[in-house]
Amino acid sequence: MLLTLVIFYLLATIAIGLWAAKRVKTTADFAIAGRHLPLVMIITTTFATWFGSETVLGIPAKFVQGGLGSVVEDPFGAGTCLILVGLFFAAKLYKMTLLTISDYYRERYGRGVEVACSLIIILSYLGWVSAQVTALGLVFNLLSAGAISIPLGMILGTASILAYTLFGGMWSVAVTDFIQMIILVVGLAIIAVFASGQAGGADKVIDLALSKDLFRFWPEPTMAQIVTFIAAAITMMFGSIPQQDVFQRVMSAKDLKAATRGPVIGGVCYILFAAVPMFLVTSALIIMPEQAATLIKEDPQKVLPTLVLEHMPFVMQVIFFGALLSALKSTASATLLAPSVTFVENIWRQFFPRQSDRQELWTMRVAVLVFSVCVCTYAILLQGTPIYEMVSGAYQVTLVGAFVPLAAGLYWKRATTQGAVFSIVLGLLSWGMFLATGASETLPAQLAGFIMAVVGMLIGSLGPQVVIKNRHGSHHSLVGS
C-alpha cells in the first residue's frame, strides 16, 4: 500500500512537471525559466535543491556519530554558500544576463578557461546527482521489502525525474520544487512532533544529545583539528559557488531583488531546517536504542527510514516518504539539468556554433537524457559509498578548479587569463597529488588545492604575461577582458 502511494506521488509530480513544460518555447525558458521567477519561487527552488538525500539521510548519520562538528561541511558550509552567493555574487552576475556560469569565464578569460571550468563543473555533478539516485534506490528497496533491488530502484527513480526535466527544464524544476518544498517542510515538521512524543518530549531528546556531546561544534585546539575543520567548512561554502544550479536560480529571478534575496533567505532556511533530521535521528536513540545502535554500526543512513517504518503508524510513513521523495526529486531534477545545459552552451557550441534556438533546445534535452544515463550508471557502480561522502567529494573539484577564477575575476581587476590558467592547473594538480600520495592525511587535499589555486592566480596575474602568436601572425595576450 505504501509503495503504491509513493508511485502515485511520483506520477503526480511528473504530471505537474509536464504541465509546467508547456511554458518552454526557447532555450532561455528551458535553462533559466525565461527570467520570470518571483522571489518566493527563488527561495523555494534554492531551498529544495539544497535539501536532498544528504540532508535527510547523510547529515543525521554523520551527526549521530560525531556531533555538530562532523557536519560543518553540510548544512553549515552549504547554507553559508547560498548566503554568500546572495550577498556577493548574485548582483554582479545577474546584470550580465548570461545563460550559464561558464559564460562568465568566457567573457572574463576567454574560450580556453570557459571549456576547462565547464568540464570541472560538469564532473562535479556526477557525485551530487549520484547521491540522490542512490537514495532513491534505497527508498524503493525499503518500501518493497527488498523485492525491488537498489540498482533497479535507482533506474526507476532516475526515470521518474527524467520524465519532466527532459521536457520542462527550469520551468518544470521550479514549479515542482515549489510544491515539493511545502510537502517536505510540513511533512518533516509533523514527523518531528510525533517522534518527540514517542521519545517522551523534545527536552528528553535534547538532554540525550547534550549527554553524548553531540552539540560540540568547534574543533579541538590542535593544528590538525583546526586545519581539518577549515577544509571541511570551505569545501561546500566556496566549492558550491561556481555551480550552474546555483547560478540558474539567480538568473531565473524576475528582478535583481529576487536574485539577491532569494539565495540568502533560502540559505538561512536550509541551515535552520536541516536540524529537523538531526533531531529525528537523536530521538531514534531513545525510541529504539538497541536497533539504532546496531544500525549506526552497520549503515547509519538507515536509522531514520527504519524508525518510521517499524515504529510509526502508516499515516506517518506516508508523510515521511512523501517528504523524503520531495527532497530527493527536487535536488536530482535540478542537478540533472545544470550540467546538461552547461555542456551544450559551453562545450557543444565549440564544435557546432551555428545552431538555431530550436535545435539548441533539442540538443539540451538530449544532453539531459545522456547525462541521466551516465549518472545512474555511476551511482550503481559506486553502490555502498556513503551519501555524505559522495556529495562532499563532488564539491572539492570545483573548489580547487573554478572558485578562485570566479571570485578573482569579479573582485580583482588585475586578474588575467594567465592567472586563471595557473590557478586551475596548480589547484587541480596539487589536489590530485595530495589525494594520490596520501599527503592529505597531513593537509586535506582540498585545502592544499585551494591554497595553490590562490597562489596560481597571484603568480599568473602579477607575473610577466605570455603573448601567443596565432597562425594569422597577430598577437594574443593572456589577459582577461
Q: What is the pLDDT of residue 75?
A: 92
Q: What is the pLDDT of residue 388?
A: 67
For 54-68, write each residue's pLDDT tens digit: 788 888 888 988 899
| Average pLDDT for 33-47 | 89
pLDDT exceeds cutoff 50 at 473: no
Instruction: Cell numbers for 472, please give them.
Output: 594569422
Grid coordinates 538555431 are at which residue?
356
Q: Which residue has the higher pLDDT, 32 or 405?
A: 405
Q: Which residue has the higher pLDDT, 393 or 65?
A: 65
Q: Which residue has the higher pLDDT, 353 or 246?
A: 246
pLDDT exceeds cutoff 50 at 480: no
Q: Name the percent of the chain lying above pLDDT 90.
A: 49
Q: How far apart are CA 10 and CA 170, in angstroms?
A: 18
Q: Name the percent of the chain lying above pLDDT 70.
A: 96
The pLDDT confidence band at residue 481, using thresholds 50, 70 and 90, is very low
Q: Are 304 and 84 in contact (CB under 8 A)?
A: no
| Average pLDDT for 398-411 | 97
399-435: burial string, b at 16+ Cβ within 10 Å, e else: bbbbbbbbbbbeeeeebbbbbbbbbbbbbbebbeebb
pTM of the model: 0.88
| Average pLDDT for 333-351 | 86
Q: What is the pLDDT of residue 209?
A: 93
pLDDT exceeds cutoff 80 at 263: yes
| Average pLDDT for 117-139 | 87
- 416 by DSSP, 3-state: which? coil
